[in-house]
Each structure stands twice: as C-alpha cells, then as structure tokens.
Amino acid sequence: MTIVLASAWRPRGELLRFQKLLAMLQQAYLSLVISLPPDVESDVLDALHALPGIDIVITPDWSWGRHLALQESLRHDATHVHYADFDRLLRWVETRSDEWLQALTAIQEVDCLVIGRTEAAYSTHPRALVETEAISNLVTSYLLGQAMDVSAGSKGFSRRAVEFLMEHCQPGKALGTDADWLVTLHKGGFSIDYLTVDGLDWESADRFQAQAADDHNQRQLAEAYDRDPGHWAQRAAVALEIVQSGLAAKSRELESPKDTEE
C-alpha cells in the first residue's frame, strides 16, 4: 500500500520549516500535493517549484483549496490519501513525528479515518474555536451516528473513497468539507473510523516562527485571540458553514452509491 499527501496551504511564514521537514515527508508519502491560494507570494512559489516531488495546484479561489488538493491526489498511483491542512501537518510532524507515522499506518487500513484531537490537544485552542466547534462537531456527529471531532484538519481516505467524493462533492465551501466529505461517504455506504491524537494541537501560534511554538507562547496567543470579538464572529461563521454543508450533504441524492459488497 502507498499513501499520498493532499494538503491546502495558505503560507504564513512556514516555508523554512517545510524545507527542513521535506526529507521526512518524502520518506512517508509517495508524493506531496499542495494547493495554494491565487495570491501566493512569488518567492514562496519559486521556492516550492525548486523542490523535488511537489505537485503544486494554484486555486482559482481559495475556497477550492481542499477540494482541488484531494482531486489532484488521484493523479498519483497511491492506494490511500492523507488530507491535512498544511500548517497543522507541519506542527504535527515537527513535534510528534512518531504519532504522525502511526496515523499514516492507520489510514492505510480503512476507507475513511477521521483524525481528531485528544482532550489535551483541544485544550490548547482558543475558547472561540472550542465553543463554536462544539456545535459543528455535535451536529456532524449526529449526522454520522457517532461522536467525533471532525474539524482538526486531518483525514485519511482510500482511493475509492476519494473517487466517490470527487463524483459527488463540489468545491466552494472550504471548511464545510469537514462535514460534507464525511456525510457523503456515510450516505454512500463507507465506514467512518476515528482516531484521536495529541499532535493536532493549536497550530496558529506557529505562524512566522522558526519552529513550532512552545506551550507558553501557544497559551498566550490563544488568550490574545479570544480578546478579539471579530475572531468569535469568524469562528461562528465557520461553524455555520460546516453545519450547513453537513445538512446539505445529508439531503443530497447520490446517483451511484458505493457497491457495499466490495
């Protein structure tokens, strides 16, 4: 079995960390597929094009980032795909590489693996995320019939699951994919497995840093994040998009459900 990375990345100073981790990433993945926003800085793009084994996708609109990364992954001859938000992935690999590698093994054993956060990992996030994601996680869990954290930015799929998603899902609701992809697969007869990890703790504290933020800086920046009312409004809007996307997927007719005898 083989696995390819599909990742959406809006660069915020992570390039040097990526370059340091590249060899480790390339040992684990058959290829790296990375989608970037249309306004990505030219120096970042030039640096990425100079790296071997990187498949770059420039999105026409950033809301398409996750979808196009997953779609492009099918161009590679791998049995499974690991979707990960790139900033979260870098922190995970940098801080808990053994756990990350164990998760990659688990991905290759199932059709769909949702990778969520342990209580310790979740506690590092701002309250604005914790309180609003509680709503979208609760609704999505209800639609799936099992409790899980769906918004940690990391999921694994078999090739046939990705093909099914590309047949039935459309781009345009970036964070709505947290529910859309899972509910669509659930309706199509795919099993949804679940794993929690410590390595998907809050990644935004790492922005424009030379390395992953330590616990102290992570906590300070999370408290500062919560003091801005705009962040609460933003996260409420994200939760609403996830809920609406899950409900839309639940009501959407599937023209060709998976053959459950496979």
Express each pLDDT in 94-118 by its tens digit.
999 999 999 999 999 999 999 999 9
State pLDDT tens for residues 128-171.
Answer: 999 999 999 999 999 999 999 999 999 999 999 999 999 999 99
Residue 260 lies in a domain: no
The average confidence (pLDDT) of the chain is 96
Residue 256 lies in a domain: no
Residue 261 lies in a domain: no
Residue 153 lies in a domain: yes
Q: Is 79 exposed, middle or buried (0-12, 13-18, 19+ CB in 10 A)?
A: middle
**Do the beta carbons of residue 58 and residue 36 sit within 8 Å?**
yes
Q: Which domain holds residue 103?
A: 3-251
Q: In what side-by-side order are the strands of the sheet with 54-58?
A: 54-58, 32-36, 3-8, 80-85, 154-158, 112-117, 193-197
Domains of the chain: total:
1
Residue 62 lies in a domain: yes
State pLDDT tens for residues 168-219.
Answer: 999 999 999 999 999 999 999 999 999 999 999 999 999 999 999 999 999 9
pLDDT at 254: 86
User: Residue 60 maps to which CATH number?
Assistant: 3.90.550.10
